[in-house]
Amino acid sequence: MPLTLAPKGEKLVITHIGGNAEVRQHLADLGFTAGGLICVIAAVNGDLIVNVRETRVAISRNMASKIMV
């Protein structure tokens, strides 16, 4: 399922990163890699605040929809 549908507070494993090469590289630079743990902290107007690699990151709904958990 896409990260946008993930429940808050639950630790999940990233299974796949979609999008073009530039988007995948940008997400990898932020710490989003397949096999990594992720936890949704909050959702604000569709945008997400997530905990990835012990860092909080805010991402847009569009970017979050490319991350499968």
10-residue mean pLDDT series, the chain (69 residues): 94 95 94 95 93 94 94
State residue 69's pLDDT score: 95
The domains of the chain, with CATH numbers, are 3-68 (2.30.30.90)
Mean pLDDT value across the chain: 94
Report the Cα 45 to chain-centroid distance in Å: 16
State residue 46's pLDDT score: 86
State residue 52's pLDDT score: 94
Instruction: Count H helices and E strands in the chain, helices first.
Output: 2, 6
State residue 67's pLDDT score: 95
State residue 49's pLDDT score: 96
Q: In which residue are the tokens 């399922």 written?
A: 1
